[in-house]
């Protein structure tokens, strides 16, 4: 989470850390302000040119300018009441330069010709100051200017245009569904984000983008006061790069699963999921405690997405591999020599993992990244072999490529852009296979659904994951619910135990809406698509304790 | 307008804002801060920057209808506009059943958390502090990645019942990971101070460098239950999970580790070893904090856990009123009392054990038992017959701070540490714990 912005909202101190964990960027504004159009693109171009010229005249050899208007609307409710509605707007300009072969960055909310020129000068001064303790000059991969272009998230309902009352009514319906079906408590939230980003660089690009994201979610709690026990079940939604239409709950986008479970593809039925959640939270109360040991795991896309994120997405970030994140997120086991060998077996031969910034409806989808590179798709793991990383303009030379992968991102105009994870997704099987077909083939296994506890070491070898729902599989049949389940594995052993994939009809995306990286920490949003997938012989531990 | 206002300036501005109010109740929070940072990796600076923020929040209430509006412009017209806006939102809002109104004037303890040495830091000072660190690693076949961030800020509030509060503070956090160039050893250090003159980046770098060198060529030990010595940096990330979970409402609602069968809570019960005392004190000179909470309640010295017994839980004003209790705000700082043993003494008295210098990637596994998982990182060592024998490979653990504090052997002298998870600063002693549960091995360095 972005502590700086959080502190702005909540005040300094430990108390501040004990409440919410949602980063708010910008200042709270009246609702109608969110519907006002941003500054005209011709004005933004003029402003950008002031920055480009000011930096050049001070000695910058490269400059990019991001004029950004970032809008957020967050709704928080519990049981029968609305807790908070936040409308926030943040507007300003971030200028990044190369001078004396060194990066410099400065940002200002003073978006006037004077403010912008001063900001550009500061960026150049910082670059020159830091160049004195620099080892080697920045090598920036060339990027042909794309001229004046625009891109917009494909959507049919702009969430910011939907009345707040309609959103509150939906959340109250969700809460009532949970309470009516046995929940003791329920919290539900809606998150809407709109990035209106204008990018210009000395390469000759002037890119205007309008990016939308949505995340509906809830937590249902069942309590047995007499026994002093409680269990929760979180929403099985996915954050998406979509508009409010994601909440239409279209029947055509539902995938019926075993045991009355429902998978949601590109449309989410929040009330239905809350109803199921309340019943399942109660069922968890009496679920059998798992016996520790080796199991074949059948992992739902809404669960597997996070495992992909942590054990494939992060270790293949080239900045981590090179050591730029050593002090915080860590480095990576997937070192350059392994990639150079061309035969490093990351996974079994059925494992094909792609990176992209193009998938429609995904969180990562954009027209261009935050250094003006067009969005694309590329392979990370092909037939189980490590074939590439995620790299940006000042890194691709290291892996012998001439063009950036286009995955540079800053979470606000006042944050400096750096390498962030694109969508990283596991390809489905070409062979026809449903979840039910897959379960039939498992003798001793656990079917896991939903995002739970997650933890992985700083080089991404050893991980432990929980989930929301666990079902015991015996001799090809689901025999009941399990509790206290977590699995531990080594990334390479895990992906090499990947035994079977469902087909494209089961493929869905999972998303991480507030993925943290960097110092000061920045958030980003990223999707991970996959079909339900089987992994053989994974170590499962029992997490029940007595205090 | 300056980003950092003096007490008199803040008072004048807040008085002006309140003069525009027509609501039954009005409360205004004002804050400003200037932050500077520098980041380095691969023995070179990667990014640096600074940012100034200021913010004014107006909360207006008509009966139980409450509206809030925020602004970062401070001319008279903007100030009046933000008050009108809050009142407009309040009139439109549904009644908030949990609204308990604003407080009258309060008396606060004296706490000094502002240091000129920190407030006056410049980009050059930061670069120089980093240069001192880089000098050491560049000449020793070591690779440094670090981050230094300082903040100079203030908070103030005033309301229509006459409450006024002001608190200026400064802080500097420095963290550094030093790795051996062959990638086999890694060491870490983190330091947090209110007074930047106490930060010695060269001395800190020597600690991380020593751990990096000593942790190279680590040997694998079988996972299992071990006696561990947790250095304060390691202990802090588990202890803060307990600090964060002292909320009375969750306990009363039956969904906390402090809930009990039958619907009661563990308030007044012994839950950990009697040597454990966890408290807050805004006036502590080592870890000064604001003597008032965000809603104007005074922060007092308070024991959360005293001699192993749950003495206090945090009650919001609403929940306290509903339960017929005294409100207790969440604290602005937390410390754990310790003993007199030094870390060296604790190692000397250990027959067989593991010295853990840092824990990382802490995530909740079960909120019912406060079970957490995570890993050791950046220097883990095997102790035999009172001496460090060799470095060991990293472990994953699954452990609850409650279970851990029941298996307490020794507490050392508390010191100020920075949480590697939350950046929070605490006073935490080194702790020797028996039967700490390591559940698997990690190859990570």
pLDDT digits (tens, 9 = 90+) for A360-396: 999 999 999 999 999 999 999 999 999 999 999 999 9
pLDDT in the model for residue A202: 98
Q: Which residue from B116, B113, B154, B129 is spatially nearest to B37, judged by alpha carbons?
A: B129
Average of pLDDT values for A496-524?
96
pLDDT in the model for residue B69: 86
Contact B358, B233 (CB under 8 A): yes
DSSP string, A67-97: EEEEEEEEEEEETTEEEEEEEEEEEEEEEEE
pLDDT in the model for residue A22: 57
Residue A20 has pLDDT above 70, yes or no: no
Q: Which residue from B119, B281, B189, B233 is spatially nearest to A13, judged by alpha carbons?
A: B281
Contact B187, B213 (CB under 8 A): yes
Per-residue pLDDT of chain B in tens (445 residues, 90 and over written 9): 888 999 999 999 999 999 999 999 999 999 999 999 999 999 998 888 877 888 899 999 999 999 988 887 899 998 999 999 899 888 888 888 999 999 999 999 999 999 999 999 998 899 899 999 999 999 999 999 999 999 999 999 999 999 999 999 999 999 999 999 999 999 999 999 999 999 999 999 999 999 999 999 899 999 999 999 999 999 999 999 999 999 999 999 999 999 999 999 999 999 999 999 999 999 999 999 999 999 999 999 999 999 999 999 999 999 999 999 999 999 999 999 999 999 999 999 999 999 999 999 999 999 999 999 999 999 999 999 999 999 999 999 999 999 999 999 999 999 999 999 999 999 999 999 999 999 999 999 9
* Beta pairing, strands A288-289 & A477-483: parallel
A527 to A18, A252, A293, A366, A523: CA distances (angstroms): 28, 21, 31, 12, 14
Nearest-CA distance from B267 to chain A in Å?
Answer: 15
How far apart are the C-alpha atoms of A464 and B189, rounded to whole Å? Answer: 26
Q: Cβ B41–A327 below 8 Å, yes or no? A: yes
Position A30 confidence tier, pLDDT thresholds 50, 70, 90: low
Residue A41 has pLDDT above 70, yes or no: yes
Average of pLDDT values for A77-87?
88
Q: Which residue from B24, B96, B95, B92 is spatially nearest to B60, judged by alpha carbons?
A: B24
DSSP string, B288-321: ---SB-TTSPBP--EEEEETTEE---BB-HHHHH
Phi-psi category of residue B209: left, alpha or beta, with phi > 0 → left and psi -120 to 50 → alpha: alpha
Helices (H), A41-152: 41-57, 113-131
Three-state DSSP class for residue B231: coil
Nearest-CA distance from A57 to chain B in Å?
Answer: 21
Residue A3 has pLDDT above 60, yes or no: no
b or e along A191-215 (b: 16 or more beta carbons within 10 Å of the residue's beta carbon)?
A: bbbbbbbbbbbbbebbbbbbbbbbb
pLDDT in the model for residue A28: 67
Contact A249, A272 (CB under 8 A): yes
pLDDT in tens, A257-306: 999 999 999 999 999 999 999 999 999 999 999 999 999 999 999 999 99
How far apart are the C-alpha atoms of A539 and A295, rounded to whole Å? Answer: 7
Which of A8, A326, A455 lies at the smallest CB-CB distance from B363? A455
Segment A513-516 long-range contacts (CB within 8 Å, at least 24 positions apart)? A513/A191, A513/A213, A513/A215, A513/A239, A513/A363, A514/A1, A514/A22, A514/A23, A515/A309, A515/A420, A515/A421, A516/A1, A516/A2
How far apart are the C-alpha atoms of B360 and A11, rounded to whole Å? Answer: 26
Which of A134, A416, A458 lies at the smallest CB-CB distance from B49? A416
Phi and psi (nearest 5°) for B310?
-70, 110
Position A17 confidence tier, pLDDT thresholds 50, 70, 90: very low
Q: Which CATH number fits domain A3-285: 3.40.50.920, 3.30.420.310, 1.10.10.10, 3.30.2290.10?
A: 3.30.2290.10
DSSP string, B372-401: EEEEE-S-EEEEETTEEEEEB--EEEEE-H
The two tokens of residue B232 are 């304060």
Tell me which of A19 and A105 has the higher pLDDT.
A105
Chain A residues touching residue B371 (CB < 8 angstroms): 543, 545
Nearest-CA distance from A121 to chain B in Å?
Answer: 13
Neighbours of A136 (CB within 10 A): 9
Looking at residue A334, the DSSP 8-state letter turns out to be S
Nearest-CA distance from B383 to chain A in Å?
Answer: 23
Q: Cβ B45–A13 below 8 Å, yes or no? A: no
Contact partners, residue A32, CB within 8 Å, separation at least 6: none
Say how many Å lie between the first and final Cα of chain A, rounded.
30
Residue of B36, B48, B95, B243 for testing the chain A interface, max A β-carbons within 10 Å: B48
Contact partners, residue B6, CB within 8 Å, separation at least 6: none
Residues of CATH 3.30.2290.10 domain(s) within chain A?
3-285
Q: Cβ A453–B364 below 8 Å, yes or no? A: yes
Contact partners, residue A294, CB within 8 Å, separation at least 6: A537, A538, A539, A540
Residue A5 has pLDDT above 50, yes or no: no
Chain B residues touching residue A484 (CB < 8 angstroms): 366
pLDDT in the model for residue A25: 62
Chain B residues touching residue A392 (CB < 8 angstroms): none
Share of chain A above pLDDT 70, in %: 94
Q: B7-213: which CATH topology?
A: PmbA/TldD fold (3.30.2290)
Helix and strand totals (H; E) in chain A: 11, 28
The two tokens of residue B172 are 């500097």
A170 to A150, A177, A264, B39, B67: CA distances (angstroms): 33, 11, 18, 44, 22
Residue of A169, A457, A542 for testing the chain B interface, max B β-carbons within 10 Å: A457
Contact B21, B88 (CB under 8 A): no
How far apart are the C-alpha atoms of B252 and B246, rounded to whole Å? Answer: 11
Residue for token pair 């009966």: B63
Position A318 confidence tier, pLDDT thresholds 50, 70, 90: very high
pLDDT in the model for residue A23: 60
pLDDT in the model for residue A37: 78
Which of A27, A185, A462 lies at the smallest CB-CB distance from B396? A462
Average of pLDDT values for A406-411?
98
Chain A residues touching residue B52 (CB < 8 angstroms): none
DSSP string, A266-318: SS--HHHHHHHHHHHHHHHHTPEEPPPEEEEEEE-HHHHHHHHIIIIITTTBH
Strands (E), A457-519: 462-465, 469-474, 477-483, 485-490, 498-501, 508-517
How far apart are the C-alpha atoms of A220 and A300, rounded to whole Å? Answer: 20
Three-state DSSP class for residue A528: strand
pLDDT in the model for residue A8: 30
pLDDT in the model for residue A109: 85
Chain A residues touching residue B127 (CB < 8 angstroms): 129-130, 132-133
How far apart are the C-alpha atoms of A300 and A448, rounded to whole Å? Answer: 6
How far apart are the C-alpha atoms of B108 and A135, rounded to whole Å? Answer: 51
Phi and psi (nearest 5°) for B5?
-95, 145
pLDDT in tens, A423-473: 999 999 999 999 999 999 999 999 999 999 999 999 999 999 999 999 999
Contact A409, A366 (CB under 8 A): no
Which of A10, A82, A457 lies at the smallest CB-CB distance from B375? A457
Neighbours of A261 (CB within 10 A): 18
Residue A6 has pLDDT above 80, yes or no: no
How far apart are the C-alpha atoms of A536 and A541, rounded to whole Å? Answer: 15
pLDDT in the model for residue A9: 31
Residue boundaries of the structural domains of chain B? 7-213, 218-246+268-312+330-445
Structure pTM? 0.94
Neighbours of A39 (CB within 10 A): 14
Contact A491, A463 (CB under 8 A): yes
pLDDT in the model for residue A87: 81
Contact partners, residue A481, CB within 8 Å, separation at least 6: A280, A283, A284, A287, A288, A469, A470, A471, A472
Residue of B30, B368, B418 for testing the chain A interface, max A β-carbons within 10 Å: B368
Q: Cβ A28–B69 below 8 Å, yes or no? A: yes
pLDDT in the model for residue A4: 30
How far apart are the C-alpha atoms of A378 and A366, rounded to whole Å? Answer: 15
Three-state DSSP class for residue A14: helix
Chain A residues touching residue B83 (CB < 8 angstroms): none
């Amino acid at each position: 989470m972005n502590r700086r912005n959080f502190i702005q909202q909540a005040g300094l101190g430990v108390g501040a850390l004990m409440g919410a964990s949602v980063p708010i960027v910008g200042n709270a504004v009246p609702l109608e302000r969110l519907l006002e159009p941003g500054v005209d693109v011709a004005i933004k171009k003029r402003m950008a040119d002031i920055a480009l010229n000011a930096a050049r005249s001070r000695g910058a050899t490269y400059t990019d300018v991001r004029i950004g208007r970032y809008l957020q609307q967050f709704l928080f409710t519990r049981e029968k009441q609305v807790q908070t509605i936040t409308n926030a707007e943040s507007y300003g300009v971030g200028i990044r330069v190369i001078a004396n072969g060194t990066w410099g960055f400065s940002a200002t909310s003073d978006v006037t010709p004077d403010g912008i020129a001063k900001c550009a000068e500061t960026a150049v001064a910082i670059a020159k100051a830091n160049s004195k303790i620099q080892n080697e000059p920045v090598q920036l991969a060339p990027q042909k200017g794309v001229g004046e272009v625009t891109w917009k998230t494909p959507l049919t309902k702009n969430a910011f245009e939907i009345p707040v009352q309609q959103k509150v009514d939906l959340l109250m319906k969700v809460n009532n569904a949970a309470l009516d079906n046995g929940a003791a408590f329920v919290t539900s939230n809606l998150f809407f984000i709109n990035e209106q980003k204008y990018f210009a660089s000395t390469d000759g690009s002037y890119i205007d983008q309008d990016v939308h994201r949505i995340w509906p979610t809830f937590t249902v709690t069942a309590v047995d006061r007499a026994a002093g026990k409680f269990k929760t079940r979180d929403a099985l939604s996915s954050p998406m790069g979509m508009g409010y239409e994601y909440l239409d709950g279209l029947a055509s986008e539902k995938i019926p699963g075993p045991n009355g479970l429902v998978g949601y593809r590109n449309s989410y039925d929040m009330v239905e999921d809350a109803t199921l959640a309340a019943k399942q939270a109660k069922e968890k109360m009496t679920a059998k405690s798992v016996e520790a040991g080796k199991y074949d795991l059948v992992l739902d896309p809404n669960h597997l997405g996070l495992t992909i994120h942590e054990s494939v997405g992060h270790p293949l970030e080239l900045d981590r591999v090179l050591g730029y994140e050593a002090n915080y997120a860590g480095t990576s086991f997937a070192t350059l020599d392994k990639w150079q060998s061309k035969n490093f077996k990351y996974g079994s031969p059925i494992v094909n993992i792609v990176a992209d910034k193009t998938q429609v409806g995904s969180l990562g989808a954009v027209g261009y990244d935050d250094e003006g590179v067009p969005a694309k798709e590329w392979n990370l793991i092909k037939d189980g072999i490590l074939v590439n990383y995620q790299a940006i303009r000042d890194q691709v030379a290291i892996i012998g490529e001439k063009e950036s992968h286009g995955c540079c991102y800053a979470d606000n105009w006042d944050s400096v852009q750096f390498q962030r994870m694109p969508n990283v997704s596991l390809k489905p099987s070409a062979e026809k296979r449903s979840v039910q077909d897959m379960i039939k083939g498992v003798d001793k296994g656990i079917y896991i659904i939903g995002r739970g506890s997650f933890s992985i070491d700083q080089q991404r070898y050893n991980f432990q994951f929980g989930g929301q729902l666990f079902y015991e599989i015996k001799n090809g049949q689901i025999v009941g619910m399990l509790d206290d389940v977590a699995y531990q594995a080594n990334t390479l052993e895990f992906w090499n135990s990947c035994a079977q994939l469902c087909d494209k009809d089961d493929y869905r995306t999972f998303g991480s809406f507030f993925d943290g990286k960097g110092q000061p920490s920045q958030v980003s949003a990223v999707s991970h698509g996959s079909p339900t997938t089987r992994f053989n012989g994974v170590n499962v531990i029992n997490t029940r304790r007595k205090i | 307008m300056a980003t950092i206002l003096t007490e008199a300036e803040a008072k004048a501005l807040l008085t002006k804002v309140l003069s525009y109010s027509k609501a039954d109740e009005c409360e205004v929070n004002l804050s400003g801060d200037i932050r500077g940072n520098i980041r380095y990796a691969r023995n070179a600076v990667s990014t640096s920057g600074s940012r100034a923020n200021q913010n004014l929040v107006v909360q207006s209430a008509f009966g139980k209808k409450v509206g809030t509006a925020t602004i970062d412009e401070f001319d008279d017209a903007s100030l009046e506009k933000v008050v009108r806006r809050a009142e407009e939102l309040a009139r439109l809002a549904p009644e908030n059943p949990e609204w308990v109104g604003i407080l009258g004037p309060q008396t606060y303890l004296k706490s000094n958390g502002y240091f000129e040495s920190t407030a006056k830091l410049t980009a050059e000072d930061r670069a120089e502090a980093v240069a001192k660190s880089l000098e050491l690693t560049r000449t020793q076949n070591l690779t440094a990645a670090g981050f230094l961030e300082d903040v100079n800020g203030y908070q103030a509030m005033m309301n229509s019942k006459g409450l006024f509060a002001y608190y200026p503070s400064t802080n500097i956090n420095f963290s550094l990971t030093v790795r051996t160039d062959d990638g086999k050893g890694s060491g870490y250090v983190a330091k947090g101070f209110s007074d930047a003159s106490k930060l010695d980046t060269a001395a800190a770098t020597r600690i991380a460098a020593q751990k990096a060198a000593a942790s190279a060529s680590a040997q694998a030990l079988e996972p299992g239950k071990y006696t561990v010595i947790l250095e304060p940096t390691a202990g802090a990330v588990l202890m803060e999970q307990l600090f964060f979970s002292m909320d009375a409402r969750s306990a009363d609602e039956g969904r906390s580790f402090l809930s009990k069968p039958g619907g009661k809570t563990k308030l007044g019960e012994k839950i950990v070893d009697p040597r454990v005392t966890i408290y807050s004190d805004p006036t502590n000179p080592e870890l000064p904090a604001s003597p008032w909470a965000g809603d104007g309640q005074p922060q007092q010295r308070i024991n959360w856990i005293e001699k192993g017994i749950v003495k206090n839980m945090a009650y919001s004003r609403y929940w306290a009123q509903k339960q017929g209790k005294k409100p207790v705000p969440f604290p602005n700082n937390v410390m754990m009392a310790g003993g007199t043993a030094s870390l060296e003494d604790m190692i000397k008295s250990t027959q067989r054990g593991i010295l853990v210098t840092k824990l990382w990637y802490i995530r909740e596994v079960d909120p019912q038992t406060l079970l957490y998982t995570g890993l050791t990182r950046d220097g883990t060592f095997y102790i035999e017959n009172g001496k460090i024998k060799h470095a060991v490979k990293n472990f994953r653990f699954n452990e609850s701070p409650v279970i851990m504090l029941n298996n307490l052997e020794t507490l050392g002298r508390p010191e100020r540490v920075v949480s590697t998870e939350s950046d929070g600063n605490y006073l935490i002693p080194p702790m020797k714990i028996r039967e700490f549960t390591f559940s698997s091995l990690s190859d990570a360095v």
